């Protein structure tokens, strides 16, 4: 296996999932990939989580080891020979560090943006409360959840498995050029959701095309405990 470009821990991944409009997503689908579905539904997800103990090419960068990320993503698949690879495409990824934005956009050609961010984790004997906040213009946006303390294994073939078990990233790099990279991690467990809420300035962050999707009630929400992860070097399709 290749040496990882990035190694880290992803923790307390809060994922709020919406019915997606495939006509809108079509413009963002990278070359040689196609939209992926679960039970004939297309999904777009708002995801907030923490990067911890981050290392780039084996090195820890001071003041850039622990930070929040919030992203908007959808799901695709790519047929590599006889094998289908299931992956994600990011509409935009928000982080609080300008250096991270520069590296990700330059090397991986992703769509990172830098925003003030903060988070709060409040575990207790009764519940785990998780909150991610980011500032867009003069306003704070948020994803918050209250969940059961003990995580449970994900059921094979479930919606949660579909949302979490996409181990490839695909990046649109041109009309006939796509970047592919593998993300490795064990299958996560999830905390049973008690309650959740969100506030997002969709038009300012993601454009007017996504306003109808994110204005509808979510299909579901889940909180994954996360794990250590690696991101392998990108190849070009």
Domain ranges, residue 228:
6-236
State how far the Cα of 104 lies from the Cα of 138, in Å rounded to an integer.
26
pLDDT of 19 > 80? The answer is: yes
**Number of Cβ atoms within 10 Å of the Cβ of 104:** 17
Domain count, the chain: 1
State how far the Cα of 223 lies from the Cα of 193, in Å rounded to an integer.
7
Would you report the helix, strand and coil content of the chain in percent, each value rounded to 5? Answer: 15, 55, 30
Residue-level pLDDT at 134: 98
pLDDT bin (cut points 50, 70, 90) of residue 1 is low
pLDDT of 98 > 50? The answer is: yes
Does residue 111 belong to any structural domain of this protein? yes
Residue-level pLDDT at 74: 98
Helix spans in the chain (H): 22-25, 98-107, 159-164, 202-206, 211-215
pLDDT bin (cut points 50, 70, 90) of residue 46 is very high
Does residue 18 belong to any structural domain of this protein? yes
Does residue 30 belong to any structural domain of this protein? yes
Does residue 1 belong to any structural domain of this protein? no
DSSP calls for 140-192: EEEEEEEE-SS-EEPPTTSHHHHHH---EEEEEEETTEEEEEEEE-PPPEEEP
pLDDT digits 0-9 by tens, 181-197: 999 999 999 999 999 99
User: What is the pLDDT averaged over residues 64-81?
Assistant: 94
What is the percent of the chain where pLDDT is above 70?
96
Taking the whole predicted model, whether its pTM rises above 0.85 is answered as yes
Average pLDDT score, the chain:
92
* DSSP code for 115: -
Phi and psi at residue 198, to the nearest 5°: -155, 155
Does residue 74 belong to any structural domain of this protein? yes
pLDDT of 59 > 50? The answer is: no
Does residue 116 belong to any structural domain of this protein? yes
CATH of the domain at 48: 2.40.400.10
């Amino acid at each position: 296996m290749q040496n990882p470009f990035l190694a880290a821990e992803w923790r307390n991944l809060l994922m709020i999932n919406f019915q997606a409009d495939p006509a809108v997503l079509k413009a963002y689908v990278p070359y040689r990939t196609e939209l992926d579905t679960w039970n004939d539904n297309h999904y777009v997800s708002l995801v907030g989580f923490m990067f911890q103990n981050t290392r780039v090419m084996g090195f820890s960068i001071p003041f850039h080891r622990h930070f929040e990320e919030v992203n908007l993503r959808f799901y695709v698949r790519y047929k590599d020979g006889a094998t289908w690879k299931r992956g994600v495409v990011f509409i935009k990824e928000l982080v609080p560090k300008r250096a991270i934005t520069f590296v990700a956009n330059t090397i991986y050609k992703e769509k990172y943006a830098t925003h003030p961010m903060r988070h709060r984790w409040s575990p207790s004997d009764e519940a785990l409360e998780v909150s991610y906040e980011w500032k867009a213009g003069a306003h704070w946006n948020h994803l918050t959840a209250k969940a059961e303390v003990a995580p449970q294994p994900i059921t094979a073939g479930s919606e949660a498995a579909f949302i979490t078990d996409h181990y490839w990233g695909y990046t649109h790099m041109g009309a006939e050029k796509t970047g592919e990279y593998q993300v490795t991690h064990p299958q996560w467990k999830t905390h049973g959701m008690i309650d959740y809420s969100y506030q997002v300035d969709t038009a300012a962050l993601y454009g007017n095309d996504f306003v109808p999707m994110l204005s509808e009630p979510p299909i579901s929400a889940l909180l994954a405990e996360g794990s250590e992860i690696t991101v392998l070097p990108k190849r070009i399709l």
